[in-house]
Amino acid sequence: MTESATLRAAARARLPSLPPSAGGAVLITGICGRLGKQLARALHRERPVVGVDRRPFHDKPKDIEHAQVDIRRKKLKDVFRPGDIQAVVHLGIMHDPRASAAEHHSWNVSGFTKLLEYVSQFRVPKLVVLSSANVYGPQPSNPQFLTEEAPLLGGQNFSDIRDLIEVDMLAQSFFWKLPETETVILRPVHILGSVHNAPSNFLRLNPIVTVMGFDPMIQVVHQSEVVRAIELALMPGIRGIYNLAGPEPVPLSRYIKILGRQRIGVPYSLARMVMGRMWSLRLTTFPAPELDHIRYICMVDDRRARQVLGFTPRMSAEETVLSVDDGRW
Amino acid sequence: MLTRLLGRAGDAVDDTLENLLGEPFADRMGRVPLALGSSGVDPFGLDPEWMKYVILAIATLHRKYFRTEVNGIRNVPTGRVLFVANHSGQVPIDGALIAAALFMDGEPPRLVRAMVEKWALSLPFVSLFFTRVGQVVGVPENATRLLSQGEALLVFPEGVRGISKTFDQRYKMTEFGLGFMRLAMETDTPIVPVAVVGGEEQYISVANFDGLAKLLRAPAFPIIPQVFFPGGQLPLPTKYRLWFGEPMRFSGDPDDDDSIIEEKVWLVRQTVQSMLNRALKERKHIFW
């Protein structure tokens, strides 16, 4: 630990011009995920990066320090002890729908509570939490574009998302609990790219199954844009909740056309039944309630991110959606 | 074979539309102020390709079946506008004809949006259809956004009370809701009153079966004798007359007390009612 602390101190000495909150070490939880690795690569040349993940970090750049610990363990505190962590980026949210509800809850909620405890104890000036636009939930009664003030109703029909809502709420409580820490909550729409999340995996299917008689407008954002938004969120002075969206929304069928895949429309009741059965036989990674995402809209108003964060998506819908093929197994 | 057949059908659609509109559909569509993205779909899901078929249908109703007479279309301002009309006729053909008039007779042509019930968007195909032809869920956020985007919105403040009137109540407007006035004040939008004459005679309802309506959870269950005669399922081909009034502007606090808002709503309601009365007096015949 002392060795790494001196390393970090040396790294900080290389960047004397930056203010402490912009130049200190960044702690990234869930660094071994695809998004985490991208973020680490984007940041490590400018400031020291410390990673926390219980998975091993293969092909890790040399100057990144990785602590292979479970965020629920006390050992996490050791990462904070040198006192030079100036920002925490929380990406380590478990999304595995196969994991038991108890494991999910303890990882996402207790783990995050621990993290928040250390952020407050060590007076970390910046906390960035990657939530998701899914916390709003797809509903037929949704306004076309949901603002950050919209209620988080995602758990209404899909209970697995309740943890994520709880994490979002815990981060929100930090706004008033610890006003000296600049807390930022990012709520991106469906992230596409080489990541292995549900929307990217869905678009990798061939043929793609859709619900007959529904073709909702959908927003997507490329993983590299999310990385850029996190970098912007790390700037001093930025705090609050920001919806993130990529290029202008288009109907689901257009994305499928761009990918050149077959499309099979299945009546909702049949799709739900088959998916439920396949889920119990472990033949699919999509739980049946997720079908609502391809029936109803869940789109966000990203004006605040554009105006305050200065976030303008650069990639077109074509580039974004075609990038899912990079992540094929 | 099939593609050739479809191609020929497509050409026929284009020709018929051109005849009805007096110019190619694409030209007229191109003049509609719309926020179309590079994908050719607007952020609310409106797709001009779908609009073509819908406009063919409503243009035929407008020109051929109901032979609508349109008055005062020049009163329609450019930019955001809220149309407030009387509702009648058991089936909302009045909305379709107002939309047809604004697209076919207005200059620049406008595509008017209406607000739909949220349950409609949970139905397969219905949801898809409504979205592609630019109808949006009736929530205040959507209305505000559309108006601030400079679009035209059509509301029937009478709601289902208006459309399911029996024949003896024809052209007597029921109570207005207050929401549209608060919306207009909040977004500083001019209100254009619209009177629709001809709708009340298309389906003659002699009574409403309230008990059955409640049982079926439907808004109303009208008794319409004509549907028992052959061909009577179609609306009677009455001549529709649309009157667009001069824009009305209201200012003040949109969150004011109901009593203050009610006065302004009363003013709009009286305007529509007097336009209706005048139009009825001038009408020589129901069918021509």
What is the pLDDT averaged over residues A68-94?
90
Does the beta-carbon distance from B141 to A147 stay under 8 Å?
yes
> Which of A82-86, A233-237, B48-52, B207-211 ranks highest by mean pLDDT?
A233-237
Q: Is the pLDDT of residue A15 over 50?
A: no
Tell me the residue range of the domain where A38 lies: 2-192+220-246+298-313
* Residue A177 covered by a domain: yes
pLDDT of residue A158: 82
DSSP A89-152: EE------TTS-HHHHHIIIIIHHHHHHHHHHHTT-SEEEEE--GGGT---TT--SSB-TTS--
* Residue A133 covered by a domain: yes
Structure tokens belonging to residue B30? 């191109």
pLDDT of residue A296: 94
**Greater pLDDT, B28 or A13:** B28
The number of distinct structural domains making up chain A is 1
Q: Is the pLDDT of residue B132 over 80?
A: yes
What is the pLDDT averaged over residues B27-31?
87
DSSP secondary-structure letter at B119? G
Sign of CA dihedral B66, B71, B72, B73: positive
Percent helix, percent strand, percent coil in chain B, to nearest 5: 45, 10, 40
> Which residues of B lie closer than 8 Å to A, measured between beta carbons?
37-39, 41, 43-45, 47, 118-119, 121-128, 131, 136-137, 139, 141-142, 145
pTM: 0.87
* Residue A272 covered by a domain: no
DSSP secondary-structure letter at A293? G
Distance from CA of B39 to the nearest CA of A (A): 7
**Out of A140-154, B177-191, B203-217, B249-263, least confident range:** B203-217
Does the beta-carbon distance from A143 to B137 stay under 8 Å?
yes
pLDDT of residue A124: 94
Q: Give me the CATH number covering residue A186.
A: 3.40.50.720
Contact of A187 with A244, CB cutoff 8 Å: yes
Does the beta-carbon distance from B121 to A215 stay under 8 Å?
no
* Residue A139 covered by a domain: yes
Q: How many helices (H) and strands (E) does chain A have?
A: 13, 13
Q: What is the mean pLDDT of chain A?
A: 88
Phi, psi for B237 (deg, rounded to 5): -75, 65
pLDDT of residue A21: 45
What is the pLDDT averaged over residues B21-27?
86
Distance from CA of A132 to the nearest CA of B (A): 21
Task: Show the domains of chain B with their CATH numbers.
Answer: 2-282 (3.40.1130)
Consecutive H or E run containing B3? helix B2-21
Rounded Cα–Cα distance for residues A144 and B42 (Å): 12
Contact of B205 with B166, CB cutoff 8 Å: yes
What is the pLDDT averaged over residues B80-85?
95
Rounded Cα–Cα distance for residues A268 and B288 (Å): 47
Distance from CA of B139 to the nearest CA of A (A): 6
Q: Report chain B residues whose CB lies below 8 A from the CB of A156.
A: none
* Residue A322 covered by a domain: no
Q: Is the pLDDT of residue A215 over 90?
A: yes
Consecutive H or E run containing A251? strand A250-251
Report the residue from B37, B44, B124 with minimal CB separation from A144: B44
pLDDT digits (tens, 9 = 90+) for B167-223: 988 899 999 989 999 999 999 999 999 999 998 889 988 888 888 888 887 778 888
* Residue A282 covered by a domain: no
Peptide bond into B108 cis (omega under 30): yes
For residue A71, give every residue at least 6 positions away whose Cβ sits within 8 Å of its Cβ, in sequence order, or none: A29, A52, A54, A92, A107, A111, A112, A114, A115
pLDDT of residue A12: 47
Does the beta-carbon distance from B41 to A250 stay under 8 Å?
yes
**Greater pLDDT, B227 or A5:** B227
For residue A320, give every residue at least 6 positions away whose Cβ sits within 8 Å of its Cβ, in sequence order, or none: A192, A193, A220, A221, A222, A246, A247
What is the pLDDT averaged over residues B252-273?
92
Peptide bond into B109 cis (omega under 30): no
Does the beta-carbon distance from B137 to A147 stay under 8 Å?
no
pLDDT of residue A328: 67
* Token pair 């679009």 in the structure block, residue: B151
pLDDT digits (tens, 9 = 90+) for A268-309: 999 999 988 988 888 888 888 889 999 999 999 999 999 999
What is the pLDDT averaged over residues A251-263?
93
pLDDT of residue B70: 93
Instruction: Look at residues A75, A92, A80 and name the one whose alpha carbon lies nearest to residue A24.
Output: A80
Structure tokens belonging to residue B65? 């079946």
ipTM, two decimals: 0.82
Long-range contacts of A264-267 (CB under 8 A, 24+ apart): A264/A207, A264/A208, A264/A209, A264/A210, A265/A210, A265/A211, A265/A212, A265/A213, A266/A209, A266/A210, A266/A211, A266/A212, A267/A211, A267/A212, A267/A213, A267/B124
Torsion of CA B39, B45, B51, B54, to 10 degrees: 160
pLDDT of residue A7: 52
* Residue A252 covered by a domain: no
Q: How confident is the model at residue A23 (pLDDT cuts 50, 70, 90)?
A: low
**Out of A42-46, B37-41, B139-143, B223-227, least confident range:** B37-41
Rounded Cα–Cα distance for residues A76 and B229 (Å): 81
Q: How confident is the model at residue A4 (pLDDT cuts 50, 70, 90)?
A: low
Q: Is the pLDDT of residue A218 over 90?
A: yes
Q: Is the pLDDT of residue A10 over 60?
A: no
Contact of B61 with B97, CB cutoff 8 Å: yes
Q: How confident is the model at residue B81 (pLDDT cuts 50, 70, 90)?
A: very high
Report the residue from A143, A213, A267 with minimal CB separation from B142: A143
* Residue A212 covered by a domain: no
Q: Is the pLDDT of residue A135 over 50?
A: yes
Distance from CA of A251 to the nearest CA of B (A): 7
Q: What is the mean pLDDT of chain B?
A: 89
Exposure of A111 by Cβ count < 10 A (0-12 exposed, 13-18 middle, 19+ buried)?
A: buried
Q: Is the pLDDT of residue A13 over 60?
A: no
Rounded Cα–Cα distance for residues A244 and A178 (Å): 24
